[in-house]
Amino acid sequence: MPGTLYIVATPIGNLEDISLRALRVLKEVALIAAEDTRHSRKLLNHYAIATPLVACHEHNEEARAAQLLVRLQDGADVALISDAGTPAISDPGYVLVRRCRAAGIRVEAIPGPSAVTAALSAAGLPCARFAFEGFLPAKKKAREDLLSALRDEPRTLVFYEAPHRLAQTLEAVARIYGNERPVAVARELTKKHEELFSGSAGDARRHFSGEVRGEIVLLIAPAEKAAAEPADVTAALRRLAAQEDLPPAELVRRVAKTTGVARNAVYQEYLRLKGEKA
């Protein structure tokens, strides 16, 4: 019987944030593949886990995946962990998972912390839908081009950002999205110096203008649907009335839908136009 590859989430700061199942699996597997074995040894020592470790990081993931696949095919269970949070989320893991699944190896997620979901859950921005963009590009032009391309995104935007670039990024966010766009900055989540800032892009730029330390998640509120101008409603009523012979209620309903303006307001405008004609 081939073994199972377990994708095990580990804490993003606070060592208590690990599930009982994660601890059991890390104890029971034959081998743990870790992004940085020295870093992970601290977590494993804390929980008295003595399972052998091998390194699996972005520079050796292809070669390591081939070796781990052989071990799994031979029947060994293997766990994959990263330095923090959920493997494969802006971390190594995708290559190994893809290879294992292609080879028919069972892959199981042991869910737990991830900075993206932790930040979203506490930021107070809409989170029924969100767009996670991973790390923002390091180069200024590429970063600003990406931010510009996402300006009208109707879902909350979530980015990982390096602390030394945060001030410059917030300056760009305020400029491109406007000073008033709500944002949140989650810094050092679950750690001693945890900070969860929320406010306008302009406020955030001022707040983080000095030296910033720690690990950062940046969230930007969705673009509001641009409110239709009164002139748009008038034009839409005139256009639709000229195109189709609709009863007033249907005319108003359709214009309210296409412009996003309240039905009552559209009806008032309809009455005004009718009065003009009479």
- Cα distances (Å, whole numbers) of residue 188 to 17, 90, 150, 168: 14, 17, 26, 19
Which stretches of the chain are assigned E, i.e. beta strand? 4-8, 31-34, 53-55, 78-81, 106-110, 130-135, 156-161, 182-187, 195-200, 216-220
Nearer to ligand SAM, 72 or 118 (CB): 118
Nearer to ligand SAM, 3 or 92 (CB): 92
CA atoms within 13 A on the CB side of 27: 11
For residue 245, the SS3 value is coil
Instruction: Give least dist CB 188 to ligand SAM, A.
Output: 5
Residues near ligand SAM, by CB under 6 A: 12-13, 82, 84-86, 89-91, 114-116, 160, 186, 188-191, 215-217
CB closest to ligand SAM, residue no: 85
For residues 167 and 189, what is the distance between their CA atoms, to the nearest angstrom?
19
Nearer to ligand SAM, 3 or 85 (CB): 85
Do 147 and 139 form a contact (C-beta atoms < 8 A)?
no
- Cα distances (Å, whole numbers) of residue 201 to 81, 154, 263: 35, 17, 33
Instruction: Give least dist CB 120 to ligand SAM, A.
Output: 11
For residue 43, the SS3 value is helix
Rounded to 5 degrees, φ, ψ at 259 are -95, -20
Do 171 and 209 form a contact (C-beta atoms < 8 A)?
no
Do 187 and 193 form a contact (C-beta atoms < 8 A)?
yes
Nearer to ligand SAM, 121 or 264 (CB): 121
Instruction: Give least dist CB 184 to ligand SAM, A.
Output: 11
Which phi-psi region, left, alpha or beta, contains residue 192 (left: φ > 0; alpha: ψ -120 to 50)? alpha
